[in-house]
Chain A
Amino acid sequence: KAGVTQTPRYLIKTRGQQVTLSCSPISGHRSVSWYQQTPGQGLQFLFEYFSETQRNKGNFPGRFSGRQFSNSRSEMNVSTLELGDSALYLCASSSGINTEAFFGQGTRLTVV
């Protein structure tokens, strides 16, 4: 069974640009969550999608958005990038709500 796949693995963007990250969950998993990891703040919850609906959202500005498709694949978008958005972005999939989460390798975003 393939694991959680995130693309791209590395990305360099310029301030003011926007970026889209992709996450393909484990086959059969309907829940996808996104997290941001920075050295200063550690891991923080961004949002969770379940069956194409955003279920929860963390405390991040509206520049951070996401969506989930009917095949459970998810994308997150960050608009008007700031230097502080440089981070490792991780997604995790699970079969349902409050079930074990399986993480992808992450996308390392650098904003210059």
Chain B
Amino acid sequence: KNEVEQSPQNLTAQEGEFITINCSYSVGISALHWLQQHPGGGIVSLFMLSSGKKKHGRLIATINIQEKHSSLHITASHPRDSAVYICAAISGGGADGLTFGKGTHLIIQP
């Protein structure tokens, strides 16, 4: 069973700061999701990646398969980025569905 660990659990930063959220997993995966959850519950998929790096606007996600580690970066952070960010791993050929980290609660202060 894959164990997915995220850090930090909570992060408060000032508007404009560069944000990094880390995710590590214990066994090999086929892909990893980065998800964003706002108050109210709705989840938005930000990225799905299996190697290298992806960029969308101010968000960048990287993954190192050998080190079993992924990072989500937010450049020029804004209060609207305040949310819970969750990484989720697909392993076992998808046999276990998604395995989720506990999430990082991010607050960006103006």
A105 vs chain B, min Cβ distance (A): 5
- B96 and A97 contacting across the interface, CB-CB below 8 Å: no
- Which A residues, 15 to 58, have Cβ-Cβ distances below 8 Å to chain B? 33, 35, 37, 42-48, 55-56, 58
B10 interfacial by beta-carbon distance below 8 Å: no
> A42-B103, A43-B86, A43-B88 known; A100 and B45 CB under 8 Å?
yes
> A44-B100, A58-B97 known; A90 and B30 CB under 8 Å?
no
A66 interfacial by beta-carbon distance below 8 Å: no
On chain A, the residues within 8 Å of B65 by CB distance are: none
Q: A56 vs B99: C-alpha distance in the bound complex, in angstroms?
A: 13
- A101 and B45 contacting across the interface, CB-CB below 8 Å: yes
- A97 and B48 contacting across the interface, CB-CB below 8 Å: no
- A98 and B98 contacting across the interface, CB-CB below 8 Å: no
Q: A103 vs B41: C-alpha distance in the bound complex, in angstroms?
A: 10
B90 interfacial by beta-carbon distance below 8 Å: yes
- B93 and A103 contacting across the interface, CB-CB below 8 Å: no
A64 interfacial by beta-carbon distance below 8 Å: no
- B31 and A98 contacting across the interface, CB-CB below 8 Å: yes
Interface flags, A92-112, vs B, CB<8A=1, else 0:
100001111111111010000
- B45 and A102 contacting across the interface, CB-CB below 8 Å: yes
A88 interfacial by beta-carbon distance below 8 Å: yes
A and B contact pairs by CB, cutoff 8 A, 19 listed: A42-B102, A43-B88, A44-B100, A45-B98, A48-B94, A56-B96, A90-B43, A92-B43, A92-B98, A98-B30, A98-B90, A99-B48, A100-B48, A101-B48, A103-B43, A103-B45, A104-B42, A105-B42, A106-B42
Q: Which 5 residue pairs are nearest across A and B when measured between Cβ atoms? A: A45-B97, A103-B43, A43-B100, A100-B48, A106-B41
